[in-house]
């Protein structure tokens, strides 16, 4: 069992300068605690995401940590020129000593895409073309490509990633179709959905992975993302989480409330109690959190706990205390699960 972190980097009440320094201190704590990787989201023009340029923020993470892997989950490809992103990926991988993990997507918010001047209807096509181009650029000495959106002839690739053939790639799954695609491409995956629904993805993912087995490929990482708040007692943890979670939820829906629309595709409950009831988060004592995660990991078929420990208006001290209890009490109990 491995342990990782997902972070929207949603805004709290600190100034931006204080905010970034606090998040970097939390990243140092993840490194010290022995987490495998720190995955960050990309969002624009919304308090949901204070790292609209993940590469910039992660370059600081690279300098403040020593063992922790890190990366975007995901780069919103339609918002990037692929050549620029290839160069950023290579720089981050080299500067971190080969600790970069990468993830790509079309972008979760059509509103954000439209504010960038992009046509949301073309996002999927831009994602597919951009991904093919980027993977070529990370593995070849020169780049030739002719597509609908991009065209290059014999462009030298002076930069290269430290990890060969390229850094590990991650993908967020919400269906058996996306799980099949990820398995065929040998990608690690993360699900944020309830455990029973996630199980349909992980079973299909493992089946396709096995059926397309290749020599030398390692065991895939199958992540399950959950909000996690730990305190000495259930009552204390729930009190803190009940205060912090609604602020995160308001940020999650900020652009949709501002501009209108149906809201996020993968919506979350507005209240903490419902979130816990459907299994997408937990607040409690170390024992409560341990038993919750044991059940969740068994039911989902996942092997990688991805905790969202920092969100809403949780203070730095509250986050660090939660991490300390998780590291000392929860991780040892879960590490024995196969």
pLDDT tier, 121 (very low <50, low <70, confident <90, very high otherwise): confident
pLDDT score, position 108: 73
Would the pTM of this model clear 0.75, i.e. be above it? yes
Per-residue model confidence (pLDDT) at position 197:
95
pLDDT range class, residue 338, cuts 50, 70, 90: low
Average pLDDT over residues 34-54: 97
Q: What is the four-CA torsion angle of 27, 33, 37, 40, rounded to 10 degrees?
A: -30
- Whether the pLDDT of residue 11 is over 60: the answer is yes
pLDDT value of position 40 = 97
Q: Specify the range with the lowest mean pLDDT, choosing from 35-49, 72-86, 117-131, 266-280.
A: 117-131
Query: pLDDT at residue 264 above 80?
Result: no
State the CATH architecture for 2-73+168-334.
Answer: Alpha-Beta Barrel (3.20)
**What tokens were used for 30?**
């993840």
Overall average pLDDT of the 127-145 stretch: 94
Residue among 191, 211, 218, 219 at smallest CA distance from 300 = 191
> What pLDDT was estimated at residue 215?
58
Tokens of 8: 């929207």
265 prior amide bond cis, ω within 30: no
**Any idea which residue has 């939660």 for tokens?**
322
Among 44, 41, 130, CA closest to 83: 130
Q: Where in the chain are the domains?
A: 2-73+168-334
Given a cut of 70, whether residue 22 has pLDDT beyond it is yes
Specify which residues 227 forms β-bridges with: 281, 308
Distance between CA 227 and CA 131 in Å, rounded?
29
């Amino acid at each position: 069992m491995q342990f990782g972190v997902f972070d929207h980097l949603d805004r709290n009440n600190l100034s931006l300068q204080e905010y970034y320094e606090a998040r970097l201190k939390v990243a140092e704590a993840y490194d010290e605690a022995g987490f495998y990787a720190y995955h960050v989201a990309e969002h624009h023009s919304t308090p949901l995401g204070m790292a609209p340029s993940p590469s910039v923020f992660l370059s600081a993470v690279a300098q403040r940590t020593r063992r922790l892997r890190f990366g975007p989950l995901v780069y919103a490809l339609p918002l990037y020129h692929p050549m620029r992103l290839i160069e950023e990926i290579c720089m981050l991988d080299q500067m971190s000593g080969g600790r970069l993990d990468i993830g790509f997507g079309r972008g979760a918010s059509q509103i954000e895409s439209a504010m960038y001047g992009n046509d949301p209807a073309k996002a999927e096509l831009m994602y597919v073309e951009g991904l093919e181009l980027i993977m070529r650029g990370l593995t070849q000495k020169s780049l030739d490509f002719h597509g609908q959106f991009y065209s290059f002839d014999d462009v030298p690739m002076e930069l290269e990633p430290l990890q060969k053939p390229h850094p590990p790639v991650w993908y967020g799954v919400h269906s058996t179709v996306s799980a099949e695609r990820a398995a065929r491409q040998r990608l690690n995956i993360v699900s944020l959905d309830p455990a029973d629904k996630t199980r349909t993805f992980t079973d299909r993912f493992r089946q396709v992975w096995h059926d397309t087995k290749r020599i030398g490929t390692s065991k895939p990482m199958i992540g399950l993302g959950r909000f996690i708040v730990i305190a000495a007692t259930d009552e204390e943890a729930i009190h803190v989480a009940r205060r912090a979670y609604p602020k995160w939820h308001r940020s999650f829906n900020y652009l949709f409330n501002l501009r209108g629309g149906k809201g996020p595709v993968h919506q979350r409950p507005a209240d903490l109690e419902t979130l816990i009831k459907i299994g997408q988060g937990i607040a409690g004592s170390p024992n409560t959190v341990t038993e919750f995660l044991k059940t969740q990991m068994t039911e989902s078929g996942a092997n990688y706990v991805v905790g969202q420990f920092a969100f809403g208006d949780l203070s730095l001290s509250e986050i660090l205390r939660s991490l300390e209890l998780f590291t000392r009490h929860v991780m040892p109990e879960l590490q024995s699960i196969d």
